[in-house]
Chains A and B, each alone.
Chain A
Amino acid sequence: MNKPRQYELITEFVMHNKDNFYRLAYSYVLSPEDALDIVQDAIHKAIKSDTLKDETAIKSWFYKIVVHTALDFLRRRKRVTVASDAELEFRDTGHEDHYRNLDLEKALNELPTDYRSVVVLRYFEDLKIEEVAEMLGLNVNTAKTRLYKALKLLRVEMEEVQIEEAP
């Protein structure tokens, strides 16, 4: 595919789906600033890339780029930042003030990123398990197994939340 055509496709696709990509990125980094950075990086990577060969594949192609950009970001951040407990607590209360989706954030935080990916892509972005597996480079059975484990982890997590909230 020639470059102008690819650029045109990316532009159209990104404009239509930018909210999805933002939320997907946010589900990994849980910070608006970082999520915006990831969206920006992912767009740059997509434009630079030579790998989109088939227009019909743009959806999974771009999702894949966003997921990988987010995972790269998390890996880098793990290397540089060591946050103190106090700082984490402080950040936590900050979120509580600004966002209402606290138990979503807690739940996502409880999940290792491998499991987070399958839950977010499968349930929140409504992709098929086959698509999710393909995007994450897994075979379908591995993706399913991760999904089961993730649901198990989530359920435990959610029960705890409910116990805490009970009067």
Chain B
Amino acid sequence: MENKKVRNMDELKREYTSIPIPAELDQVVQSALESGRQADSGNASFSTQTGGAAVSDAGMRIESHSQTGSRPVSRPRSRSRARRSWAIGVAAVAIFVAGLNTSPAFARTLSEVPVLGNLVDVLTVREYKADKGHYEADIKVPAVGNLGDSSLEHSLNEKYLAEGQKLYDTFMAEMKAQQAIGEDGHFSVDSGVVIKTETDELLSVGRYVEETAASAATTIKYDTVDKKNHVLLTLPSLFKDDRYIDVISENIKAQMKQQMAEDSNKIFWPEPTEDIPDGFTQIAKDQNFYINSSNQLVISFDEYEVAPGYMGVVEFVIPTEKLSSFLSSQEYLK
């Protein structure tokens, strides 16, 4: 079955590459290049662009370097010019990022929004908003404090700032890429913070990101901190050895199948299939997780990771009794 599909794709490709090229193509290309230049020669002066080197930001590679090697001069020039228009077009946004890059103190001038009454000390959120017509960004960067360990706070906050920075970069690259082709595009980024668990012992903070272009995709990342011992918990650290990967994965597969059997509206991809070769096989060693307020392990998957997009971000609570013989400590999961 798999072979048949591959063969057909190969056949299709062979047919595609044998689409006959009309003899006129050379002529059409030549004259288009000629007439295009003549038509364009009138407005070859400077103009302020809103586009930019966005396409290159996305990591494109050129096929052949020999094509660009003949004129070594223009490369640095084109770069600085790209920078300049970048700065003109989005000055307000650029200031924010310069701030992120250069001075943590700058972040304090952004609006600080306390989350929940008893968390004021622990968590604040800095918010950044941009609204440029069809391009909108609402990026909230959490900051933890009063954890009793400044280096832990610092490393988490650095990470959150870097995530905010990356989101901002993605947003800018997408905006520029769409403007670069004269597209009246739509793109928005919305990120925020959710507190999953806040007890005397534990704090689980999730950061979600929703990117919307033609359709939306949501991702969410969690950190779980042991507030008493000032430790950032990792998934491997909860277990004695790697056997947890199989145990949790099998449990998740069983839960997926059970949920699908009980509710026909639910669809998961519990294993790779011909159509969905990226279906679930097993959790990553450092799979995204948090610990809920009942001290149970919750495994989280991003949108599209193990289920179709309409299922959204999906979570599985792993019953602690399935894990008890593998735990490195009885302190966290009960």
Query: Does any Cβ of A come within 8 Å of B32's Cβ?
Result: yes
For A103, what are the chain B residues with a Cβ–Cβ distance below 8 Å?
11-12, 15
Interface bits A18-29 vs B (CB < 8 Å: 1, else 0)? 110011001100
For B64, what are the chain A residues with a Cβ–Cβ distance below 8 Å?
16
Report Cα–Cα, A40/B61, bound state, in Å. Answer: 25
Q: Quick one: closest A residue to B44, CB to CB? A: A3
Decide: A56 near B61, CB < 8 A? Known: A137-B214, A141-B309: yes
B214's partner among A9, A22, A23, A142 (CB-CB below 8 A) is A142
Interface bits B37-62 vs A (CB < 8 Å: 1, else 0)? 10110001001010111111011111
Query: Does any Cβ of A come within 8 Å of B110's Cβ?
Result: no
Interface bits A25-51 vs B (CB < 8 Å: 1, else 0)? 011000010001001100110111111
Is A56 touching B68 in the complex (CB atoms < 8 A)? Answer: yes
Decide: A43 near B78, CB < 8 A? Known: A50-B49, A64-B181: no
B17's partner among A23, A49, A142 (CB-CB below 8 A) is A23
A76 → B minimal CB distance (Å): 16
Q: Which B residues, 88 to 143, have Cβ-Cβ distances below 8 Å to chain A? A: none
Please report A residues at the B interface, Cβ cutoff 8 Å.
1-5, 7-16, 18-19, 22-23, 26-27, 32, 36, 39-40, 43-44, 46-51, 53-61, 64-65, 68, 99-101, 103-104, 107, 120, 123-124, 130-131, 134, 137-139, 141-142, 144-145, 148, 151-152, 154-155, 158
Besides A59-B63, A60-B58, A141-B303, 13 more A-B contacts (Cβ < 8 Å) are A1-B78, A13-B67, A19-B21, A22-B19, A36-B25, A47-B39, A50-B49, A53-B85, A56-B68, A65-B181, A137-B187, A138-B215, A145-B309
